[in-house]
Amino acid sequence: MILDQLENLETYKNLSPDIYEGLKYLSQVDPDIPLGSYRINDRLVANVMEYMTVEEFKLGYEAHQKNLDIQYVVRGHERIKWSPIKGMAVKTPYNEQTDATFYENPTPYGGEIIIGNGNFSIMFPQDGHACQYYVDKCELIKKIVVKVNIEKR
């Protein structure tokens, strides 16, 4: 898992061309972009969504096998719980269509992050992440998740 500021996107230029391309997209996106999915290239898709943050996210910790997530909030703030999936129990088995497994019983080695105000997170396949938690109060947020396909290399 990575947490960083979008202003540091040049750090990722030589680390991963796909991650860099996703971050570059986020740095140039209009915050008023309509909700929906936008293909950036053959390995990158940006999903723009709005939802209310909540006190408790009931689905569990999500992890992906085919994609990594670059998560960026363009309006509001979101608290995300994180835990390595190693040692966690499967709550909902892998669904190939949604590329998601949900886990429960986070390890004591996890934590929480807050995204908004120009920072982003990158969640890799080994990163269980439970999103949608409120920071100070429930609020309607606008979020972009760039899905980076790690199979098409």
Q: Which domains, ranges and CATH numbers included, belong to the chain?
A: 2-149 (2.60.120.370)
Question: Which tens digits make up the pLDDT trace of 134-146?
Answer: 999 999 999 999 9
pLDDT value at position 57?
81
Q: What is the dihedral of CA 87, 77, 117, 4, to 10 degrees?
A: 0
Q: What is the pLDDT of residues 120-133, one digit of tens each?
A: 999 999 999 999 99
Residue 153 pLDDT > 70, yes or no?
no
Mean pLDDT of 15-21: 95
pTM for this predicted structure: 0.95
Percentage of the chain with pLDDT > 70? Answer: 99
pLDDT in tens, 80-106: 999 999 999 999 999 999 999 999 999
Residue type, 6: L
**Residue 62 region, left (φ>0) first, then alpha (ψ -120 to 50), else beta?**
beta
Confidence class for position 58, pLDDT limits 50, 70, 90 = confident
